[in-house]
Structure 1
Amino acid sequence: MMVQLAPTPLNYLSAESLAGYGAVITSFMGALHWGASLHTLGKAPSGIRWIDHNAWIWGVIPALVAWVALHIYIPVGLLILASTLLIQRSIDQDTYQYYFSDEATRSAFMEMRNRLTYIAAACLAWAALVILFVQA
């Protein structure tokens, strides 16, 4: 909202702040894989593809994308962060089956995750569109 309504330069400071917040959230969502992988380390049977390799890799990729998004033109970075959150949600929906011991808990977590992801992505995208088309 501040990106759209605040006077210059506060609108630009708000956009930078929102990008920083989006980068932190994007990185945090990747870090969940590290935490879950550390928890299951040595407990899961060897040879499970996701637990053996992909969780560690996917735990780093969002942080790297977020870091890049902070160093480019703000509206483009905001759109990249919004897209990354949505891509993460899509991938995580399939991979969280390895982290939760029962379906009810995973389902409840994904319901909360879906709501928060869609709200965060919408806010990031809205700010980017305001900068690109309203303030231009």
Structure 2
Amino acid sequence: MTSSPTSPTVVAWLGYGGLIPFLALAGASWLDPAHSATWVPGLLAYGAVILSFVGALHWAFAMTHPQLQGVPSHPLYLWSVVPSLLGWAALMLVPKAGAILLIAGLLAHYRQDLRLARMIELPVWYLPLRLRLSVVACLCLAVVFFTAG
């Protein structure tokens, strides 16, 4: 699709900007444990929203990627809704279990991104950016283990 190893400026700003709520809520949970009952649910909810968002990327690829036109893309559509279901389920669990499920979901989705990259050509910046964003999100969600009761 694109050969530039650098993500477009708007993509970088939006991607890294999307980490601000993760960092702010994880930092608040860590620095203000007396109010972790406020910060942790917000962190988990944001994690669920982001997990849903990354799942939707596979739906978009299935619909629009030229290499997938005329090819059965049922597995991509099916996978694309799994992250939303995982995020939803994570919000119904106790915080530590919810954080585990969200971390597992983000890691599983990155694995699916790697599988997708073997099927179709993706922008060369996509996987490195997704990896960096996923690592930071997972680390922020891991803060729940130190702050949630």
Q: Please, what TM-score do these two structures have when normalized by structure 1?
A: 0.80
**RMSD between aligned alpha carbons?**
2.1
| Equivalent-residue separation in structure 2 for 1:122 and 1:3 (angstroms) | 13
CA contact (8 A) 2:51 2:106 kept: yes
How far apart are residue 131 of structure 1 and its match?
A: 3.0
* Counterpart position of 2:3: none
Identity of matched residues, %: 29
How far apart are residue 97 of structure 1 and its match?
A: 4.3
- Name the aligned partner's letter for residue 53 of structure 2: F
Q: Deviations over 1:62-94 (max 9, x none)?
A: 100100000110121011101110111012111
* Counterpart position of 2:134: 117
How far apart are residue 96 of structure 1 and its match?
A: 3.3
How far apart are residue 5 of structure 1 and its match?
A: 1.9
Question: Greater RCO between the two (CA within 8 Å, min separation 6)?
Answer: 2
CA contact (8 A) 1:26 1:81 kept: yes
CA contact (8 A) 2:33 2:147 kept: no
Match for 1:31 among 56, 73, 86? Answer: 56
Which aligned segments of 4 or more residues in structure 1 are displaced greater than 6 angstroms?
Answer: none
| Equivalent-residue separation in structure 2 for 1:99 and 1:71 (angstroms) | 35
Deviates more, 1:112-121 or 1:90-99: 90-99
* Counterpart position of 1:76: 97
Q: Which has the larger radius of gyration?
A: 1
| Equivalent-residue separation in structure 2 for 1:15 and 1:4 (angstroms) | 10
Match for 2:42 among 5, 11, 17? Answer: 17
Q: Please, what TM-score do these two structures have when normalized by structure 2?
A: 0.73
Match for 1:3 among 7, 25, 29? Answer: 29
List runs of 5+ in structure 2 lacking aligned partners.
1-26
* Counterpart position of 1:128: 144
- Name the aligned partner's letter for residue 54 of structure 1: P
List runs of 5+ in structure 1 lacking aligned partners.
none
